[in-house]
Chains A and B, each alone.
Chain A
Amino acid sequence: MSLLRYSAWRVTQALPVLVGIIAITFFLANQIPGDPVEIMLGPTPAQEQVEAIQAKYGLDRPAHERFITYLTGVATGDLGTSIYYDRPVLEMIILRLPVTLVLMLSAFAFAIITAIPLGVISAKRRNEPADHVSRIVSLIGVSTPSFWIGLVLIIVFAFHLGWFPARGLVLPWADPADVRGAATRFEVLRQAAHHLFLPMIALGTLQMAQITRIERSSMVDSLQGEYVKLARAYGVPESTIVRKHAFQVAQLPVITIVGLGLSTALGGAVLTETVFEIQGMGRLIITAINNQDYELIMGTTFMFGVAYVVGVIITDIAYAYLDPRVTYGDE
C-alpha cells in the first residue's frame, strides 16, 4: 500500500470515532439541566414565543430524531446555531480555531525545540550532572499545573518586569489596521510573538517535559543498539554515531508521545486561554457552558475531538513515513 492509500485508510478508520464523539457530546448536552428557551426568553415568556423558538431550534422533537438531524448536519458542515451569539456555530469556530491552533503549534514548537537537545544530552551523559538537571527539569515539568506556570509567568514577566503583555493574543496574519500600535506587517508579527511568548511557555512546558523524558529513554536504548556498537567498533567518531546512527531511530517514540500529548495540550489550551484571557476555542467552550448554549457546547466539544483525531492521524502518517519498518498494514 502506498503512503497515500495508507493515509486515506487511516482517515476512513477515524470516521466511526467521529460519530462516537458526536454521540457522546449529544448525549451529554441533552443531560444538561435547565431549559435553553428559558435562558433565551427569561422566566415568563409568552407561549407563542416559546413555540417559535422550540421550532426554530428543533427542541420540540424527540432526542433520536434530533440526533439524526444533527449527524446529517455535521456531515454537511452544519453544526447548528449558537443561541448565545445568534450566529452559526461553525462561524464561531472558524473565528476562534486559528487562535487555539497558533497557541498549540507554538507550544509544541517550543516543546520540541527545547526537549530534543535536553533529552539527547541527558542520554549521552547518563548519570552525570547534566543528566540530573535535565531529569529534574522534566520531573517538575510533568508535575506542574500549566495554569499555575501561566500565573507565575504573568506575575514575574508581565507585572514585575514588564517585559511581556499579561493578556490577549495578536494573530500573525492580522491586518495592521486592526492591531493597536502596529503600522506595518513587521510590527504585527513582532506583537504576535510578544503576546505569544508567555502562553506558549505555560502550555508547552508539560509537553517539553514529556518529550524530554521519552527522548532520553529512547536515546539511551538506541545508543545501546547493536548497530551503534558496530559503528563504535569501526571507529566512527562518537558525535557522528549520536547524530547519524542513534538519533534518527530514537525519534519514532517521540512522535508517538507528541500524538498522545495532543489531548493534554488541547485541554491545557482551555486553561491557558483562561489565564491569559485569549479568545480561542477554550474560552468559547467555557462561554458556551456558562450560557447553556447547547449547540455551541456540542460543536466545540466535537471540534476538540476532531482536532485530536486529526493530530493523531498526522502523527501516525509521520510515523509511517519515517519508519521504514511500517508496512502500512497489508503485507
Chain B
Amino acid sequence: MALGNTDTDDVPAEGADGPDEGAGEVEARVGMRYTLAQVKRDTTARIGIYIVGFITAVALFASIDYYILDYAIAEAILYDPESDPDTVRRLLPPFGMENQFGQGVLEHPLGTDHRGRDIFTRLLYGTRVAMTVGFMATTIGLVGGTLIGAVSGYYGGWIDDVLQRATETVYAIPFLVLVIAFMTAFGRDLRFAMIGVGITAIPVFNRLIRSRVVSIREEDYIEAARAAGVKDRNIILRHIIPNSFAPVLVQATLQVGVSILIVAGLSFLGFGAQPPTPSWGQMLSVSRGYMLPAPTFSVWPGLAILITVVGFNILGDGLQDALDPRINN
C-alpha cells in the first residue's frame, strides 16, 4: 500500500501497492533504500550498474579534465595531436592491424582519426557529452512529464483534456523530426539538443504519472488528507508523486539510453555537439567519409554507444524485475 507520509517511505507497511496487487501483506515498494536492496539481489541489474557506473566515472573524469584542467590530462598523458605536426599519423588502424596509411601502433590502440587524433581518447571523452545529454534530457522529460501528468490526472476535467491533447500532439510528430525542427528554430548546439530530446520525453512520463495518479486519487488516505485540509499541491507533491517512484525510476533509466541514441543520431546529422568537442555521433558522421580506406574508424563510436545504451537498458530491466511485486513473489 502507498504510504501517507513520505518521511517514512522505507518503513515496511501492510497492504497492496496498486490496484492490480493481490491480497496479503507485502512491504512498501517505495523509497530509495528498498530499491537499492532489491537491485542488489538482481544479477542483471547489477551488471547494468557496473556498466553505467564505469561510464559515469569515465564521464566525470573527462568533465573534470575539460572544465577545470582544459584537457591538460588528455594532452599530457593520453595524446597530443599538435605536438609535432610532421609526424601526425592520420587514419591509422587499431594496434595489430594494417591499412594503406600504415601499421597500427600501441600508443593508439584503436587507431587514429582523420586528423591524427587518438580514437580511444576521443571515445573516452565522448562519454561526457553522451552522459550529460542523456541525464539532462531525461531530467527535463521527467520534471515536465511528472508535473503535467500529476496536474492532469489529479484535477481531471477540462484541464486534463487540454493537457493530454497537447502532449498527444507533441507525440504525434516523430521525435527525431520534431527535435530537428526545434533545433533549426532555436539553435543547433548541444543545449538545444538536450532541451529538444527532453521535450519529446515529456509525453512518456506524463502518461506514466497520469495513470498512477488516476488510480491513487481515489485511495482512502488521499481522501483523508483532503478532508484534513491538506492543500492540493501538497497532496500531489508529498503523496502522489513519491508513490509513483518505482515505475518512474525504471522509465527514467531506460529513457537515458533512448536519449543517448537520439542525440547520437542528431549529431550524426550535424545537429548537436559541434567539432572539436568529441561526441560519438559526430565521430560516426566524420567516419562516413573514410569507410573504404579506414573501416574500423566507423566501428568504435558505434560500439561505445551500444555498450552504454545496453548498460542503461539492462539496468532498467533489472530495476523493473526487482521492483515488480508480481515477479518478485
Contacts and interface: CB of A to CB of B under 8 A. Distances in A.
Do these two chains interact? Answer: yes
A320 B284 CA distance: 43
Interface in B186-227: 186
Contacts, number: 141
B168 interface: yes
Interface stretch (A141-149, A180-188, A237-245): A141-149
Interface residues of B, number: 43
A268 to B, nearest CB: 7
Contacts of A300: 177
Given A31-B186, A270-B177, A20 B166 contact: yes
A271 interface: yes
Contact of B169 (A21, A267, A289): A21
Among A16, A25, A155, A268, chain B packs the most CB atoms within 10 A around the CB of A155
A96 to B, nearest CB: 14
A308 B174 contact: yes
A228 interface: no
A151 interface: yes
Interface string A1-40: 0000000000000001100110111001111100000000
B177 A304 contact: yes
Interface stretch (B18-26, B67-75, B233-241, B297-305): B297-305
Given A145-B265, A148-B302, A152-B302, A31 B175 contact: no
A267 B314 CA distance: 24
Interface residues of A, number: 49
A271 B264 CA distance: 11
A255 interface: no
Nearest to A135: B317
A80 interface: no
B77 interface: no
A147 B166 CA distance: 31
B193 to A, nearest CB: 14
Interface string B134-169: 000000000000000000000000000000011011
Given A143-B257, A266-B174, A267-B265, A17 B169 contact: yes
Interface of B: 165-166, 168-178, 180-182, 184-186, 257, 261-262, 264-265, 268-269, 281, 284, 287-288, 291-292, 295, 298-299, 301-302, 305-306, 309-310, 313-314
| Leading 10 A-B pairs by shortest Cβ distance | A267-B176, A20-B169, A148-B302, A31-B185, A266-B174, A143-B309, A28-B185, A143-B310, A267-B174, A155-B295
18 contacts: A16-B169, A17-B168, A20-B169, A23-B169, A29-B185, A31-B186, A140-B310, A143-B306, A143-B310, A143-B313, A145-B302, A151-B287, A155-B298, A263-B171, A263-B174, A263-B175, A267-B174, A267-B176
